[in-house]
Amino acid sequence: MKSLRLILADQLTHDISSLKDIDVGQDIVLMCEVANETGYVRHHKKKIAFLFSAMRHFAEELRARGINVHYTKFDDRDNAGSFTKEIERALSRENFGRIVTTFPGEYRVLEEMKTWATRFDVDVEIRGDDRFLATPEEFKNWAEGRKQLRMEYFYRDMRQSYSILMNGNQPEGGKWNYDAENRKPPKDGLNIPQTYSAEPDAITCEVLALVADKFNAHFGDLEPFHFAVTRDQALVALHQFIDQRLCFFGDYQDAMIEGEPWMYHAHISFYLNCGLLTPLECAKAAEHAYHSGEAPLNAVEGFIRQIIGWREYVRGIYWLKMPSYASENFFKADRRLPDFYWSGEATMNCLRQCISETKQNAYAHHIQRLMVLGNFALIAGIDPKEVNEWFLIVYADAYEWVELPNVSGMILFADGGYFASKPYAAGGSYINKMSNYCESCRYKVKEKNGPDACPFNYLYWDFLARNRDKLSQNHRIGMMYKTYDRMSEDKKLAISNDSKTFFEGLEN
Ligand code: FAD
Ligand code: DLZ
Ligand code: SF4
């Protein structure tokens, strides 16, 4: 039976389920750059360029395998503009007995795929995405009956199921988690290695010109562009991380230094999420580095936990909780996203640094996203819809399955505590401890109130005071109300007035 096999931009994996039984002689692979996907949110220029270039390279690799690929470029005159219309166009060109595809990364796209069988009167096979370690059904079974989910227990199951960093049925080194040895503040004189950087080839240059022309109004800097766009390049990027940075990954996982966007992180999320790398091979590469003595256990375990723990866990939550998860708003937060998230012109240095690096690189590391950009959005009470849209737009690794649980669940506590046991709210002292941002900030991190005080300091207490009914019973943050209640009435008034003045300034 002749099959039409659809490959999406985040499905660039040669042995993906939709290609497994391909009949090279007669099947057609359809890949398309479509306005519906570039425009449902206005993605960062670099993200569009990365995906288009990686798609075009992948199509060339499929052709080199003898596979017949129908590839629609963004500026092709007959580009129909959406997955559905491109499928319709392909079906009008020739007869296919079925459409084969792999389970997509977004609920929205799955709903679209589900319409095709009736709409086109053709068999549609949506195959599971076996690049992930846990299927949505397995996660559902694991989650069933648990009132609150905790990543740590899920992660241990993954370690055992895939026998990663295990010594028989015991965790390597005797402990499951070595975080107590991780997360050191940055120190002077760190010699941070360069991140992977590829020279754009002819395909990438053509894409860069297209993106400059068609997406000029989108957020972010298009150039310099140095992402890997093929699997071979992504493998080099992975091994460069393993060889040069993994050994300090744990130590400096939470550290932030002005002008050092990459630190000791891996910078592989873009490649993992679009399929150029697979999670299991990344975890195994790190495990190998431990066994060969190239990296210590605290770093290796911490890195593996991010990939087979957190990454799988957020995907599980996404499919378990959609579609209602997208409209959760526990705190009923309704403030508009401040303009400086787009312009980068924030008066607070930490925000300015993280936003301008995001603009340049379509990347910020986890603690910048969580404790600076996310923490501010949480304590300032910004509408989850606006925060989610921003995070989905600005990062080259962002797809809804991973972005939404991190934003609504991890940073905004919008699900009321299903994902995380407490909101990650913090005052300025955490940022001061883990970064050097405060040294060149116009605000003073040690001051708690007044025009020069670090806004995180009073906004933190104002957030707690505003949400007392929702948080005072929380077993991890509830005790902070005892501290608040011990404050003098003058102090409480100062917190409230400073916050009010700050918010008025935002609105103006
Ligand atoms: P490293 O720090 O080197 O970690 C290694 C890998 O672990 C990452 O590549 C990633 O695949 C995985 N990982 C680590 N933490 C997480 C996590 N919380 N969720 C999922 N995977 C994780 N990650 C995305 O891939 N896409 C997103 O859209 C995204 N949005 C986020 C939004 C917020 C508010 C927060 C707090 C985190 C978000 N993350 C997202 C998770 C994490 O910040 C990024 O995966 C990480 O910064 C990517 O950089 P890296 O490859 O250098 O990661
Ligand atoms: C994010 C994205 C963008 C910007 N453009 C395309 C595209 O033109 N063609 C495509 O196949 N996929 C694109 N994507 C990724 C899709 O939005 C992605 O497949 C969904 O997020 C579902 O996983
Ligand atoms: Fe950020 Fe406050 Fe430090 Fe300024 S003083 S960089 S606002 S934490």
Q: How far is the CA of 163 from the centre of ligand 1 (A)?
A: 23
C-alpha closest to that of 179 among 309, 364, 374, 368: 309
pLDDT reading at 187 higher than 90: no
Q: Ligand 3 pocket, 49 CB below 6 A?
A: no
Ligand 2: atom nearest CA of 48 is 4
What's the average model confidence in pLDDT over 412-417?
Answer: 96
pTM for this prediction: 0.98
Q: How far is the CA of 445 from the centre of ligand 3 (A)?
A: 6
Q: In what order do the strands lie in the sheet with 28-32?
A: 68-72, 28-32, 3-6, 98-102, 123-127
Residue nearest to atom 3 of ligand 3 (CA): 438
Helix ranges restricted to H, 65-135: 83-93, 107-114, 116-120
pLDDT reading at 189 higher than 90: no
pLDDT reading at 195 higher than 90: yes
Task: Set out the domains of the chain in order of their start, with CATH numbers.
Answer: 3-127 (3.40.50.620), 136-193+245-321 (1.25.40.80), 340-507 (1.10.579.10)
What's the average model confidence in pLDDT over 160-187?
Answer: 95
pLDDT reading at 148 higher than 90: no
Q: Which helix (H) or strand (E) covers residue 49, if one does?
A: helix 45-64
pLDDT tens column, 36-56: 999 999 999 999 999 999 999
Residue 31 banded pLDDT, cuts 50, 70, 90: very high
Q: How far is the CA of 367 from the centre of ligand 1 (A)?
A: 10
Give the number of whichever ligand sits closest to the CA of residue 374. Answer: 1
What lines the ligand 2 site, CB under 6 Å? 8-10, 32-34, 37-38, 43, 48, 51, 104-106, 109, 399
Cα 42 to Cα 56: distance, rounded to the nearest angstrom: 21
Instruction: Say what the pLDDT of residue 106 is.
Output: 98
What's the average model confidence in pLDDT over 57-73?
Answer: 98
Instruction: Say what the pLDDT of residue 188 is.
Output: 85
Residue 40, CA atoms < 13 Å, CB-side half-sphere: 13
Q: How far is the CA of 447 from the centre of ligand 3 (A)?
A: 10
Instruction: Say what the pLDDT of residue 146 is.
Output: 86
Give the number of whichever ligand sits closest to the CA of residue 215. Answer: 2
Residue nearest to atom 2 of ligand 1 (CA): 265
What's the average model confidence in pLDDT over 280-292?
Answer: 98
Residue 122 banded pLDDT, cuts 50, 70, 90: very high
Kindly report the average pLDDT of the chain as a whole number. 97
pLDDT tens column, 344-391: 999 999 999 999 999 999 999 999 999 999 999 999 999 999 999 999
What's the average model confidence in pLDDT over 421-441?
Answer: 96
Percent residues over pLDDT 70 in the chain: 100
Q: How far is the CA of 168 from the centre of ligand 2 (A)?
A: 41
What's the average model confidence in pLDDT over 211-218?
Answer: 98
Give the number of whichever ligand sits closest to the CA of residue 404. Answer: 1
Ligand 2: atom nearest CA of 34 is 8
